Each structure stands twice: as structure tokens, then as C-alpha cells.
Amino acid sequence: MDTNHTESVVDSLSIFEEEVLKGLLATNKSLPSKYFYDAKGDELFQQIMHLEEYYLTNKELEIFTSHKQGILETISNGEPFRIIELGAGDGLKTKILLKHFMDCSVDFTYTPVDISGNVLEILERSLFEELPELNIESYQGDYFDALSEISSRPEKDIVFFLGSNIGNFSHEEAVSFLSNLRGHLKSSDMLFMGVDLKKDPSAILSAYNDSKGVTREFNLNLLDRINSELDADFNRENFMHYPYYNPQTGECRSYLISTIEQDVHVAGELVHFRAWEAIFMEISKKYDEVQLKELAEQTGFQIVRSFQDEKNWFSDVVWVNP
């Protein structure tokens, strides 16, 4: 077995253990949402994306289908460029743009970046079958590690951050993330970002509390992963999935709540839960146009253009690093 690979696996496991324990032993318990995505988590999220209640995927698909030429004209000046997609997933939506760009004989390279090697392997296989002439260079790992390595190259970079992934940050975290991201970009590089907009609160809440219980399973799967990888003994039957939406802040927050008083062993540590104590799992923040303008200003980007679906439920914004 390759020694460097073994050390890498051990390092990843130790970071996972460290971050999980830090969250569970805190006064207000939490788990990092980035760890949702093991092989089972990837599969469950693909199911979520196709749920009727989870409108985000369909709305962004609508935008890409209706505005693909406008998007191309906005991000391309005729020179070669690179698309760097952070958190590429299965590429369902991006393929619409990739195919259109290839049909238009555009000179570009596609670089999907994802923390999950499993997801990248599946994406590469499907792209090879569907778009065999596509110039693709995958990168597994941290977003900023990828940007540090890639953005030093001469061609123009267009960073794709789709699916309302920016909503997984609080406002302060979003400002920090986007400022850091801009610091990795060259002048005239662009950000193409999907943003979920504020709308009827009941529609938003339904997207995170679907009738089939897939989102519930997605959250509970992280407990299963901790059991498997960190020698823990979570009993998922003792936890309930609880999302709620605050229309003032635009934040939809998801929790797992302990329904009984219990002790759980995790990586040799004892974690005590009071009855009805919550583990914060994920935030999904929604924006309006005023807040998006403020976010661009706070992070040093200039707004170029935005594209919306017919209902104005979702927006893909194009910002440039001046």
C-alpha cells in the first residue's frame, strides 16, 4: 500500500475526529455539514435534488436552460477560460452549460473540485460518456487549496459556486469565504454563484422537511458515519430531525434533537445529551437583491449581471474581481 496515501487517510480521519468531538463537546452542540457527504450521503443528496419539494435544483436548471447563451456572453470575451466548479456534485446542471459552450466551439477547460473522490469519479465517468471531447481536469480536496494551485495559471478563471451553496454560511461566514475566494482570483476573474432568494416561507421549509423523509435520512446518515468511522454508538432512533425557517434572517436551520437523556461514546469520549438537546446540523440562508448587493460590496466584487427563473425564486449572479 502507498505510504503517502495511508498517511493522508489517517490525517483525514484525525481531522474528522477532531472536528466532530469539538462540535459535540461544545455547550451548544453542532456537527460540520461538510461531513454529510460520504458515499451514502452523496446518494441521498442526489435523491434530495430530485424531490418535488426541493425546488432549488429545478429553478437553477430552468435558468441554465433559458439563459445559457446570455451566460456565455457574460462570462466569455472570446479568449480561452477555465471553469472551476467548487462542490461539483453530479454536474447535472453544469452539463447544460458545458454542452452549449462546446456546441459554440468555445475554448475552455472544466475543473470540478469536490471533497468527495467518489463524487468526482462518478462525474468524470458520466462526462466521458456524454461529452467525450470535453477538456476536464478534476481536483479532489479543499476549495482554497484548489484555487491556490489553479488560479496561478494565465487563463481567465470563472469560479462556479452553484446550488445556493453560499446559503450554507451565516452572513459573517459568507463574507469571510467570499473575501478569501476573491483573494485567490486574478483581476477580471469571475464568480458565477447560485443564490436562493426569499419567498413564501412554507415553500422554503418544505424543501428541508420533505414528505418522503429523505432530508431526515440525510441528516441521520451523519450519525451512522460517525458510528462507522469513529467507533461511536449513536442510536438514530433517539434523535428527531427538526428544521425551521426564520423569515427575518432568511435562515433555514436544521437540527437533530435528542428525544431522551442519553450518553453516546465517540472515539473514546463520552458525550452526554439532555432530553431535547439539539445538535445544529446545517444552515440554508436565503437572500434578497438588496442583501446580495451589500454582500458583493462587502467582499470587494463588482456585480456584472444576474439571471432569474420565471418565478424569481432563484438567482445566478455574475460578479467580477476588479
Tell me the residue type at 35: Y
pTM, rounded to two decimals: 0.87
CA of 135: how far to CAs of 91, 105, 128, 185, 190, in Å? 15, 12, 10, 21, 20
Beta strands in the chain (DSSP E): 81-86, 108-114, 139-140, 156-161, 190-196, 239-246, 251-258, 262-266, 269-273, 278-285, 302-308, 314-320
CA distance 257 to 5: 37
Cα–Cα distance, 301 to 297 (Å, whole number): 6
pLDDT single digits (tens) 84-139: 999 887 888 999 999 999 999 999 999 999 877 888 999 999 999 999 999 999 99
pLDDT value at residue 12:
52
User: What pLDDT, on a 0 to 100 scale, did the predictor assign at position 1?
Assistant: 40
The string of DSSP codes covering 250-313 is: TEEEEEEEESS-EEEEETTEEEEE-TT-EEEEEEEE-B-HHHHHHHHHHHT-EEEEEEE-TTS-
Mark the ranges of the chain whose per-residue pLDDT is less than 50.
Answer: 1-11
CA 154/CA 138 separation, integer angstroms: 18
Give Cα separations from 51 to 4, 42, 45, 161, 212 (angstroms): 40, 15, 10, 21, 9
Per-residue confidence (pLDDT) for residue 313, from 0 to 100: 97
Location of C-alpha cell 432549488? 56
How many other CB atoms are found less than 10 A from the CB of residue 103?
Answer: 9
With cell 446540523, the residue in question is 281
What is the total residue count of the chain? 322
The secondary structure of residue 186, as a DSSP letter, is P
Residues 210, 212, 218, 219: what is their CA dihedral angle, to the nearest 10 degrees?
60
Q: With contact defined as beta carbons under 8 Å apart, do 106 and 73 qualify? A: no
Residue 249 phi/psi, 5-degree rounding, is -85, -20
- Share of the chain residues as helix, strand and coil, in percent rounded to the nearest 5: 45, 25, 30
**Amino acid at residue number 129:** E
CB of 83 closer than 8 Å to CB of 111: yes
Cβ pair 118, 145 in contact under 8 A: no
Domains detected in the chain? 3-30+223-285 (no CATH), 55-199+289-320 (3.40.50.150)
Q: How far apart are CA 157 and CA 62, in angstroms?
A: 24
Instruction: Please state whether 251 falls in left (phi above 0), alpha (psi between -120 and 50) or beta.
Output: beta
CB atoms within 10 A of CB 306: 17
